[in-house]
Chains A and B, each alone.
Chain A
Amino acid sequence: MAPARYCVPGERLCSLEEGTPGSGTYTHHGFIFASLAGCFMKKSENGMLPVVSVMRDVDSQLLPDVGATVTCKVCSINSRFAKVHILYVGSTPLKSPFRGTIRREDIRATEKDKVEVYKSFRPGDIVLAKVISLGDVQSNYLLTTAENELGVVVAHSEADVRMVPISWCEMQCPSTHAKELRKVARVQPEFLQT
């Protein structure tokens, strides 16, 4: 295998005509420069310009971006919103959790005014959500669960037993058979046993 070529920030890699900038690079005055210290990679795709990027051995911290699906844990709820800690972005865990908010009108796509936060989430639930905004001066990340695939994934009943989803709005405790209201995420077909 050819010896890896290392590059350092500020090193000029190539011009914009020879490649498109990928991760770990930035453009300036029509040239692509490296912005990380790592291995230089050039991946050529069919027909298009090769993508020039710099790879590191260890992945650096990923930040939640608008439109990304995140996994979060509910910390507290009140009548207007639920506060969550964002733990995973996609499938990569975050080194330190970020705080987020799910507003009452973003919990469901339909009948938004009839939603009650207490009947959708409880503290301690693990929720799959999508980032709609990075937030401004006043608020944290704003998340939404207004899709079928988004919502509560793991929840514990009042008897502290993990509950099983039975419909889009209900989960049942297997030991006490009590039903609790949650906004449940649609279970992926591969996990259903039929």
Chain B
Amino acid sequence: MAGLELLSEQGFRLDGRRAGELRQLRARMGVFAQADGSAYLEQGNTKALAVVYGPHELRGSRGKAPHAQALVNCQYSMATFSTAERKRRPHGDRASAEMSLHLKQTFEAALLTRLFPRSQIDIYVQILQADGGNYCAAVNAATLALLDAGIPMRDYVCACSAGFLEDTALADLNYVEEAAGGPQLALALLPQAQHIALLELNARLHQDHLPRVLDAATQACRHLHALLDRVVREHLRDAAALLGK
């Protein structure tokens, strides 16, 4: 399409960012009073809302529960008005089921599930506006919600996407960049320990370029970690101030 260059000669992307720059991140913890933990996160134009219930008794069959560990149950749902074209069903289709499984896998690596045997932790993520990086915004929002609920975690989980275009690695892709069809990498990282919880790569990418893309994603995750850390500490200070400490 004429005039739609994803990366200009001066190194600027469509929304004016540089190759390794993240979108603006705004977040708030404790949005809902009735849930055990909740958080709202905006990464650019992508808006995600995460709610955590638990740990509570196992619902459903006890046969599916892992032995001596808590069952982590995730549901990823997109509001019907979140995408440019209206989505018919918020959840229950294959894409949402796959995302739910990815979320479950990511958080089983980070939560200390051995502390809550025979119980269930529910993580529900709702995407209110989808503009690329949906899975990553969901993971970041869910991390904040778990911290708000006070469920013991090994570390934060920060997620970011990365792509590769014209020999440059781009971090934090938005919808237009994702739809362009280049390789996309989604990375969920535990920053302090530098452990990868989930890694997913779509489309073809030459092996030699992989370290650079992975590096861009890791750097972006570390920046995200610093931003999320700031949000959490502010929330702790505000909560303590309200209690008069």
Q: CB within 8 Å of B: which residues of A?
A: 4, 6, 8-12, 24, 26, 28, 33, 35-39, 56-58, 60-61, 63, 95-99, 134-135, 137-138, 141
Q: What are 12 A-B pairs with beta-carbon distances under 8 A?
A: A9-B154, A10-B154, A10-B191, A11-B192, A35-B112, A37-B147, A60-B151, A61-B36, A61-B54, A63-B55, A134-B117, A137-B63
Q: Is the CB of A60 within 8 A of B150?
A: yes
Q: Is the CB of A35 within 8 A of B154?
A: yes
Output the least CB separation between A143 and chain B (Å).
Answer: 14
A-binding segment of B87-95, B128-136, B165-173, B236-244? B236-244
Q: Is the CB of B36 within 8 A of A95?
A: yes
B118 on interface, CB distance cutoff 8 Å: yes
Query: Are A10 and B193 also in contact (CB < 8 A) when A37-B236, A63-B119, A96-B57 are?
Result: yes
Most A CB contacts (10 A, CB to CB) among B62, B150, B240 go to B150
Report which of A10, A57, A63 forms a contact with B239, defined as CB distance below 8 A. Answer: A57
Provide the residues of chain A in CB contact with B243, threshold 8 Å: 57
Task: Label chain A's interface by main secondary structure.
Answer: loop
Query: Are A10 and B151 also in contact (CB < 8 A) when A26-B112, A57-B239, A135-B118 are?
Result: no
Most A CB contacts (10 A, CB to CB) among B116, B240, B243 go to B240
Provide the residues of chain A in CB contact with B152, threshold 8 Å: 9, 24, 26, 35-36
Provide the residues of chain A in CB contact with B233, threshold 8 Å: 6, 8
Output the least CB separation between A87 and chain B (Å).
Answer: 12
Interface size class of B (residues with CB under 8 A): 35 or more
B190 on interface, CB distance cutoff 8 Å: yes
Q: Is the CB of A98 within 8 A of B57?
A: yes
Output the least CB separation between B66 and chain A (Å).
Answer: 11
Closest to A94 in B: B56
Provide the residues of chain A in CB contact with B55, threshold 8 Å: 61, 63
B156 on interface, CB distance cutoff 8 Å: yes
Q: Is the CB of A10 within 8 A of B150?
A: no
Which 3 residue pairs spanning A and B have beta carbons closest together?
Answer: A10-B155, A60-B150, A35-B152
Output the least CB separation between B26 and chain A (Å).
Answer: 19
B162 on interface, CB distance cutoff 8 Å: no
A-facing residues in B78-120 (Cβ within 8 Å): 112, 116-119
Q: Is the CB of B150 within 8 A of A9?
A: no
Report which of B62, B229, B236 forms a contact with A137, defined as CB distance below 8 A. Answer: B62
Interface string of B7-44 (1 = CB under 8 A from A): 00000000000000000000000000000100000000
Provide the residues of chain B in CB contact with A96, threshold 8 Å: 56-57
Provide the residues of chain A in CB contact with B119, threshold 8 Å: 63
A12 to B245, CA, bound (A): 25
Q: Is the CB of B236 within 8 A of A6?
A: yes
Report which of B57, B63, B118, B147 forms a contact with A9, defined as CB distance below 8 A. Answer: B147
Q: Is the CB of B155 within 8 A of A9?
A: yes
Closest to B144 in A: A37
B153 on interface, CB distance cutoff 8 Å: yes
A24 to B154, CA, bound (A): 10
B205 on interface, CB distance cutoff 8 Å: no
